[in-house]
Amino acid sequence: MTPPATEHAASKGPEHIFETLNAYNQTAALKAAIELEVFTAIGEGAVTVPALAKRCQAADRGVRILCDYLVVHNFLTKNGDSYGLASDSAAFLDKRSPTYIGAAARFIASPEMIERSKDFTVAVRNGASTRGDEATAYRDNPVWVEFAHSMTALQKLAAQYLAAFLDAKCSDKWKVLDIAAGHGMYGVTIAKLNFNAEIYALDWPVVLQVAKDNAKAAGVADRVHELPGSIFEVDFGKDYDIVLLTGFLHHFDPQAIGDLLRKVHSALKPGGRAITVEFVPNEDRVSPPDAAAFSLIMLSTTRAGEAYTFSEYEGMFRKAGFASSEIYKTPGSQSIIVSKI
């Protein structure tokens, strides 16, 4: 039986093409507004062009054009000559907000990441990143230090959701392995909620320093232990209740993932769980949009990674010895996969 054809959006004429070719301006404008602290300034009460120009140390003309552009793209509101914050901007882009995530722009819109997008044509022809050893998964890549610093606040929200999902507030004595820990927020958040949890954070030594700092700030440094080195070379140890695989399997091909999952299986105690947090597209690979589109980023930044479907992950876990895997959608773009031995 022939599957139904994918539905296409109604034609917008050439406007859709024009908008997409110009989309890089949205990235540039939002990054500039974050760097100039436009959202914070408006939240503080500087709502007119002259007030914003003074607060942001920028030219009146530049501020006016930038803010009007941000109104067009729903980051700001405008009433007469006064600007206001859209609800998402107030929550996530005003530095005074406890859920501020503007620092993520330093990584997501960094020169290195943007530069890679210029090679898409060659990457498509090659089927992989054109950067060779500069692909983001190579040993001691300093990009992951920036990632750990810049993405802490954004990942904190996801970590809180995962900790609640796992019922981390229980008093069970958990031994948790946080693989490719980065900022360390997944393990740190579990440790904050479960006073009997011991976290073992694995990553490159320079990256683990960021996780260590976050653990100190959270008051759980004495229960966050460092395992420096490569995820494929370091001895994980044994008898873990939980192994966290948060946002990094997508960097590798199925064979490399399988090798890692076999190590994970051996490290878990009977009844233990591997918890994967990933962009997981549906089997059609074009929905939901954010998860499906993530493969394009992997095309330009890795040698063989992509956003895998649940059936692909389930197969990889099964071949590694896991008895079952179940997927759960989160409120955001990622999914949680719970795999049991």
Question: Which CATH number is 304's domain given?
Answer: 3.40.50.150
Identify whether 129 is part of a domain.
Answer: yes
CA 294 to chain centre: 11
What does the pLDDT read at residue 229?
Answer: 92
**Is residue 5 predicted with pLDDT exceeding 60?**
no
Report pLDDT for 34.
97
Pair (194, 244) in one structural domain:
yes
pLDDT digits (tens, 9 = 90+) for 105-146: 888 888 877 877 777 888 888 888 766 544 455 555 667 777
- Give the C-alpha separation, 108 to 119, whole Å: 17
132 shares a domain with 65: no
Q: Domain range spanning residue 42?
A: 15-95
| Total domain count, the chain | 2
Which pLDDT tens digit goes with each residue over 187-219? 999 999 999 999 999 998 888 988 999 999 999
35, 67, 95 - which closes a domain: 95
Residue 318 and residue 236 in one domain: yes
Mean pLDDT on 235-243: 97
Q: What is the mean pLDDT of residues 8-23?
A: 79
User: Hey, what's the torsion of the CAs at 275, 295, 252, 165, to 10 degrees?
Assistant: -10
Tell whether 86 and 122 lie within a shared domain: no
Read off the CATH number of the domain in which 55 is found. 1.10.10.10
> Across the strands, what pairs with 276?
245, 337
- Other C-beta atoms closer than 10 Å to the C-beta of 2 total 4
- 202 shares its domain with 62: no
Per-residue pLDDT, averaged over 296-303, amounts to 88
The overall average pLDDT reported for the chain is: 90
If asked whether residues 181 and 84 sit together in one domain, one would say no
Q: How far is CA 200 from CA 6, 15, 136, in A?
A: 44, 51, 23
The answer as to whether 91 is a domain residue is yes
Same domain, 53 and 170: no
Query: Same structural domain for residues 56 and 156?
Result: no
Q: Which residue has the tokens 């929200």?
A: 157
Q: Which one, of 137, 141, 122, lies nearest residue 306 by Cα?
A: 137
20 C-beta neighbours (distance < 10 Å), count: 9
One domain, residues 207 and 311:
yes
pLDDT of residue 133: 44
Terminal Cα distance for the chain, rounded: 36
